[in-house]
Chain A
Amino acid sequence: MSPTAKTRKSPGRSTKQKAASEEWHLKLYVAGQTTKSLTAFANLKKICEEHLKGKYDIEVIDLLKNPQLAKGDQILALPTLVRKLPVPIRKIIGDLSNTERVLVGLDLQPAPKEVQP
């Protein structure tokens, strides 16, 4: 749980040759290295590695350093994960510990909840 201080981290650059629509651009908004933000980053990385290996791009934005960026994406709750690409934009709040909900939120698991009674 170390690299949150980095503002940009793109572990999946190698798979960029895939179709543009398949490229995932994610932004994780946090405020300092709190427990919640560290957990969120770890959870996010785990999920991405599992489901989007090679086609994702995570940008971590520390609002304590760049508070002006909060306005653009209407950030209120922290941590917030914003899926910029593919459109439409989705927002997921919380420390991403509920993996199932994260997958639903990211449209990686096409609404399994609705099917289940």
Chain B
Amino acid sequence: MQKKRSMALEKCPTGIQGLDEITQGGLPVGRPTLVCGSAGCGKTLLAMEFMVRGAIKYNEPGVFMAFEENAEELTKNVASLGFDLNDLVKKKKLLVDYVYIDRSEIEETGAYDLEGLFVRLDHAIRAVGAKRVVLDTIESLFAELPNPNILRAELRRLFRWLKEKGVTVIVTGEKGEGTLTRHGLEEYVADCVISLDHRVVEQISTRRLRIIKYRGTVHGTNEYPFLIDETGFSVLPITSIGLNHKAPSERICTGIPRLDSMLGGKGYYRGSSILVSGTAGTGKTTLAIHLVNDACKRGERCLYLASEESEHQIIRNARSIGIDLAPWVKKGLLRFNVTRPTYYGLEMHLVTVNKLIKEFHPAVVVIDPITGLTNIGTLDEVKAMLMRLIDLLKYHNITTLCTSLTHGGDHLEQTEVAVTSLMDTWLLIRNIEYNGERTRGLYVLKSRGMAHSNQIREFLITNKGIDLTDVYVGQGMVLTGAARRVQEMTEQAEGASRREELRRVKRELERKRVLMEAKINEIRADHASAEEKLVSSMKEQELKEQVLASERVVIAGMRKADVSSGKPGKGIGRNSRRAR
């Protein structure tokens, strides 16, 4: 399971969630590791889990040498974490040896050594063939044995002896003042030191783990939060994941067709993170419900992390917009996890989500709202936690929708927890107040890697779900709601009358054109008749002249006139010339 690095140092996987990732494989094989921390920080549990996981998962039997609790107490204590020590003991995979000395019973009468401890340990190791040994807390011997000098010398010998044995050892030690352990165990165990811490800040406790030193290997150096819950110990090395998650180009539907088209026509990217911010009552949850419903329809699993409404309330409210989530819950496609943010610390939230993801394998996660978390930590902490959470979800390729409540007075394009830079898609729903009416407008503020719409859409919550309509944009203003309707109707009416007017003008013009053409025809007809008249009168004239000429010849003949007669001769001469 663990990737073994080709390094000189061999590592022994602890099987503890996350610890192997930080240590890059586990604890150093055949060497002692010191686990130190103050009382109640989980030293014994870490050691016990190392033992139990080793026995179950890696088939490496172990010896647990307890100096503080007896076997029975230990069994009971870890039973609540799901470990059955009795069973392991029966199977000879684990041996618990309780070492106890009562100071009052003991009288020191001369030179002694701790060979008895060696003998016992040796016997136990042989009995189960142990590969792992835990000494919890060997320092208590300092309180029980009178001579610390002997003890120190013997401890040094013990660790050397254990190294020779080749067993991987966890030694626990109580934190001292200014030192890692009360009696300076770190002097003897110098290969790997892990420090556990349990801090309470603003009434909320956080457990943290840090590897102080690990000889011969690289390791995560941060303080990592860890948890102890009913399945044991888990460390969250989420900051060590890094930004190397895959970015699939697959798209998933938003559940609202119009929103899909706003987001380049196809919806969100799978595995992306979506932030829906808006003031109270703008329909953020409704938007989330759409996504969930659509994903469930496709048969994908959804995890709904609610912190303000109960499961039933969400289901009931979803019904009011015509979406029934109950069947999905019944089918096991939808799971609600409802917890008050203040119920436990940030880290616990993170781990809970982590666990749910590992258990349920959702394709879509809704966090409604993320702003609830600000109650339980400082802004920086919340931001760091959300960053890890989002990284985690992205790592698992889960589409995440977070809602974020913006307070009325705040700048809208800003969320309470400054996480917007982590988000791939940011939808902003805002109230638009105009003329005594409140309507909602939805923008896509950003959406990485897609050509999204820059326009505002009116966001309507109907009994059939969310509907997005175009807002009125024109004449230098943006109108929504009733104002938009009024404006649209006014415009419609105006348009109609304008069109009517135009039609009228057109008709008039047509009429005029007809008239004009009629006139032209008339003139043309007049002209034609005049021409005709002229031609006919010319013909008549010619005819007349011909007749006249011929008559003159006849008369002249009759009068026997000669050509050179007086006055009329001129005319006669001309005429006669023409006649000739």
Contact = CB atoms under 8 A, between A and B. Distances in A.
B409 interface: no
A61 B141 CA distance: 23
B311 interface: no
B116 A94 contact: no
A24 interface: no
Chain B binding surface SS class: mixed
Contacts of A75: 116, 119-120
Interface in B78-118: 97, 99-101, 105-118
Interface string A78-117: 1110000000011111111110011011000000000000
Nearest to B97: A71
Contacts of B100: 74
Nearest to B122: A67
Contacts of B120: 67, 70-71, 75-76
Contacts of B115: 31, 34, 63, 77-78
A104 B107 contact: yes
A68 interface: yes
Nearest to B151: A77
A112 B111 CA distance: 22
B145 interface: yes
Nearest to A80: B116
Given A64-B119, A92-B106, A105-B109, 4 more contacts: A92-B107, A93-B108, A93-B109, A94-B108
Contacts of B111: 36, 39, 94-95, 97
17 contacts: A39-B111, A40-B110, A63-B116, A67-B123, A70-B120, A71-B120, A76-B141, A78-B112, A79-B112, A93-B107, A93-B112, A94-B108, A94-B112, A95-B111, A97-B110, A105-B107, A105-B109
A91 B117 contact: no
- Give the one of B99, B100, B109 with max A CB within 10 A: B109
A29 to B, nearest CB: 7
Nearest to A104: B107
Nearest to B113: A78
A74 to B, nearest CB: 5
Nearest to B106: A91
A9 to B, nearest CB: 20
A63 B116 CA distance: 7
Contacts of A39: 110-111
B110 A98 contact: yes
A95 B107 CA distance: 11
Given A70-B123, A74-B101, A77-B145, A31 B110 contact: no
B68 to A, nearest CB: 14
Contacts of A79: 112
Interface string A42-62: 010000000000000000000
B110 A94 contact: yes
B13 to A, nearest CB: 30
Interface size class of B (residues with CB under 8 A): 20 to 34
Interface of A: 29, 31, 34, 36, 39-40, 43, 63-64, 67-68, 70-71, 74-80, 89-98, 101-102, 104-105
A64 B109 CA distance: 22
Contacts of A101: 107-109
Nearest to A64: B119
B100 to A, nearest CB: 5
Contacts of B116: 29, 31, 63, 70, 75-78, 80
Contacts of A67: 119-120, 122-123
A21 B383 CA distance: 74
A96 to B, nearest CB: 5
A96 B111 CA distance: 8
Contacts of B114: 76-78
Nearest to B100: A74
Given A70-B120, A71-B120, A75-B120, A89 B109 contact: no
A78 B118 CA distance: 10
A64 B113 CA distance: 14
B106 A98 contact: no
Contacts of B101: 74, 76, 91
Interface string B277-315: 000000000000000000000000000000000000000
- Give the one of A39, A76, A102 with max B CB within 10 A: A76
A19 to B, nearest CB: 25
A97 B113 contact: no
A74 B66 CA distance: 12
B119 A95 contact: no
B105 A90 contact: yes
Given A71-B97, A76-B114, A78-B115, A93 B106 contact: yes
Interface in B120-173: 120, 122-123, 141, 145
Nearest to A31: B115
B106 A96 contact: no
Contacts of A43: 110
A67 B110 CA distance: 23
Contacts of A92: 106-109
Given A91-B105, A102-B107, A77 B112 contact: yes
A105 B100 CA distance: 19
Contact of B109 (A29, A34, A74, A96): A96
A70 B65 CA distance: 13
